[in-house]
Chain A
């Protein structure tokens, strides 16, 4: 093992979180910062030739190679887990920029109540809450996070329309959202035909549609760091692709241009971090392999774990830092509160062609009339809801082929099917939802006892299944989706409620897997404190979706970024002044 020269800050993971922290620390201090990224470098010019649905959307060319590393899944502690052998319910990234290179750009804030969910639900329901809930307050309030949300929105150039400006409700925005200090940095996108049909139907049904907030630019924009990007051209090669004109906020086009000018910043690619070295409450550095298989030790004064959510918890577990969570006793914190998001979708079939191949990852309208605490009281068994949206994310010709209204044909191949599929092609769209996923005692992460990665280390094991609450959420959202589909003068297909019978690893839901190294106000019930500093090692930060005590309904990226910016402030403005203690 080769011993490297010590640095001040070593960061594991060169995605949105790692590069954001590198940028903040690099720009505001004279500390030396090294980012270790397991994947390859990327640049904008790679992406034009990537407008290929087969290689990128169907074969996941930008994502983690599952042959080398995946996770395993089981539905309960009684079952044995099997590997996620091929891509399905979520898509972890790799390479510079990580999953934020191939994300869709949807940039919701969570609701104020999300951050004090355990308190809010106890106030409302008292002892009637399900016993196995493991929900917790975050230890940070929406009001504390609001300035960081605003910074995150400016950094990415989020487009949208405010629905609550300083407490004043604004028609046309999401009137249920928390108070914003500012209007969005950019106006909403031009809208597709399907999205406008949804907006009209939702409004006429008495709901409150708003343009989905997104980090693909509606106009040319220069952010506070002086980084300029072009407006989106609605090519539709967005989610699962890198944006070839840089209209979508990606770490390579938002953060790298700033980082490349920072003399105290070093990015090492092809470097796979395997262990944190730690002793007596202090992390000493990172052990990693480079792409030739040579092992290195990078000593550092401060270490930041900033990889994808599951990998954050896994690195801590492999490094034996923190007490693993035991669902039988409730003891231990590392691995607890694994959540995903509750996906429900209803396909709506329409009269006219939609040109569904035009679009952007976050282009469309949503309603939040059954989201958060709104609207759920009429649905027994539902504690928290989810958004309902119609988005034109850019239908690929392969994946969108074959959508036929239910009952039209018997087989899904052959002449009769082909004729119907051609007739209905480009005439349907998904109305989909993402609902809050509550944390439960039985849903958690630990190391798999059987399966290993290409280094011989155990894979992360997900023990995760839906409960009646998620099924009730899905039924509620499916009902409203179907109602709106009819109001669009469309033919609704069935809601995909089968997906919520049992957790399914074969079908994409979202990459919004969270928890495992959660934040909180007590080391008894959380891994990191509200600044995302590790309770047991004061010079270690663990930043990412791994910190969510439970999941919100909107896409989590903006919240992850806001938490990262706040973690940077804590580290730079507070910790560096007293670098031996907890904040």
Chain B
């Protein structure tokens, strides 16, 4: 059996509170100081560090606000890849695999898991490079299937419901003023014309009053 791998994250980078599910059991870790060990489902620790570093260049933490690191995007991606999406449970993955015209999109055999494994290999020492060098490396692979996937997943990890492992502390929704999946705007939709409706965001679990299990938790 594979040794369980962990990603070490500075606790403060996740707002001090990390909510994640492990084996379908919601678990809340409070850590005011030091580091949190996040158990990984798919990545090795070394892979997770490379992905985390790359996501931090795609959606950086800077003066315009927090980014992929604070949102825990790498945890989101790890769970997606470990789940049915990562192993192509819902993609037509039968042979023959034939390269076709651009209008036919990705026609390859490799699943998201395999695309990541291969893509990460190409990035090798990425995590130890400085930011400028990292950006050059990413520009060089900008049009690859791997990078387009990584970019898309970074946005998903920033702005999906925290039930999926990213958007920690609803940090992504705060950044864009998204209030969460509220059930009604009956009183606001035709009144707030030109004025932002911005309130402290709430997660789906808060809205429905019970934990919600993401599709990535589905077993074979």
Contacts and interface: CB of A to CB of B under 8 A. Distances in A.
B107 A58 contact: no
Nearest to A503: B103
Given A66-B90, A86-B105, A235-B182, A353 B195 contact: yes
Given A234-B185, A397-B172, A82 B107 contact: yes
B64 A415 contact: yes
B160 interface: yes
Interface of A: 48-49, 51-55, 58-61, 65-67, 70, 73, 75, 80, 82-86, 88, 190-193, 196, 231, 233-237, 244-245, 352-353, 355, 357-359, 392, 397-398, 401-402, 411-415, 418-419, 422, 425-426, 450-452, 502-506
The 4 closest A-B pairs by CB, nearest first: A506-B105, A233-B184, A51-B181, A190-B190
A83 to B, nearest CB: 5
Interface of B: 57-60, 62, 64-65, 67, 85, 88-94, 96, 98, 100-101, 103-107, 135, 138-139, 142, 151, 154-156, 158-161, 163-164, 172-173, 175-179, 181-186, 188-190, 192-197, 204, 207-208, 210, 212, 214-215
16 contacts: A49-B210, A53-B161, A55-B215, A59-B90, A85-B91, A191-B189, A192-B189, A233-B185, A244-B183, A355-B185, A397-B173, A397-B176, A413-B58, A413-B138, A418-B59, A505-B105
A505 B103 contact: yes
B215 to A, nearest CB: 5
Which of A58, A86, A245, A418 has the largest count of B CB atoms less than 10 A from its CB? A418
A85 B57 contact: no
B92 A193 contact: no
A104 to B, nearest CB: 16
Give the secondary structure class of A's interface: loop
A565 to B, nearest CB: 32
Contact of B212 (A52, A66, A422): A52
Contact of B93 (A67, A352, A505): A67
B189 A54 contact: no
Contacts of B184: 233-235
Contact of B176 (A59, A66, A425): A425
Contacts of A80: 98
Contacts of B85: 59
B192 A83 contact: no
Contacts of A450: 96
Given A67-B89, A233-B183, A401-B159, A419 B64 contact: yes
Nearest to A71: B92
Contact of B190 (A83, A191, A233, A357): A191
B208 A505 contact: no
